[in-house]
Amino acid sequence: MLYGIEARKGAVMLTGEIGCGKTMLSRTLVRQLPIERYEIALITSPSLFEPQEFFRELLYQFGIEASGSKLELVRGLNEYLLSNLKRGKDAVLIIDEAQTIKNDDLFEELRLLLNFQLNDRFLLTLVFIGQPELNKRVNALPQFAQRIGVRFHLSSFDQEGTTRYIEFRLGVAGAEGRQVFSKEALEVIFLTTGGVPRNINKLADLCLLNGFLERKEQVDGDLVNRVAEDFSM
């Protein structure tokens, strides 16, 4: 996503299953973009907006109080983007849960936003984040799909990835180098969670808590199975 924004690819799309860390990545992305160079708008509930309301919200997030017709709102946005260009700034619009956009009219309006260019330079970068069904929505709109410059799908972890993820989280918590989970426990965690980060976090945390209460030196496969059963995971 960072590459797509820095290279001004116009539109970037990230998809992934629930719990794979899409929202966390979007917030990390916002923190990584220097405020002296980027103006950022973040819309997390796109299903709430019809096109005119959407443009009004977009301008509001860019710090502009606006009213009037949709045409007037679009003109205001164009003027804002041109002023950004003069100041050496780029504008980024991040739309989280983009698969919840209710109708195709808003997708068409978003496509038209990519016409805001000067000398082949996009004045606004669109970042779409959503569940896998977003791909189906976009692919059903060929004119819109063709404007997506960068696509990426965030998959769940495999067994090795799950192990490395848990080891990384333990390292951040100060347990680097310690065999807190047995090999069997790590295998059971992967099989139980399907490698989905959110589920891994929940199960591993519960196992650590129960291991502490049972005064275990290491979380084993039996403990993971019991915890998973107790909490219907």
pLDDT digits (tens, 9 = 90+) for 11-55: 999 999 999 999 888 889 899 999 999 999 999 999 988 888 999
Rounded Cα–Cα distance for residues 190 and 196 (Å):
8
Question: Contact at 8 Å (CB) between 206 and 231?
Answer: yes
Domain 159-230 is found in CATH 1.10.8: yes
- Mean pLDDT over 180-202 rounds to 97
Phi, psi of 127 (to 5 degrees): -120, 115
Domain parsing of the chain, residue ranges: 2-154, 159-230
Q: Which CATH class is domain 2-154?
A: alpha beta
> Tens digit of pLDDT for each residue in 52-90?
899 999 999 999 887 888 889 999 999 999 999 999 999
Q: What is the DSSP letter of 155?
A: P
In sequence order, what are the beta bridge partners of 40?
92
Q: What tokens were used for 227?
A: 């915890």
Give bridge partners of residue 13 from the DSSP assignment: 128, 151
Quote the pTM value: 0.86
Quick check: 70 and 54 in contact, CB under 8 A? no
Percent of the chain with pLDDT over 70: 100
- Residue 35's SS3 state is coil
pLDDT tens sequence across 43-52? 999 998 888 8
Tell me the pLDDT of the chain averaged across its residues. 93
Tens of pLDDT along 145-167? 999 999 999 999 999 999 999 99
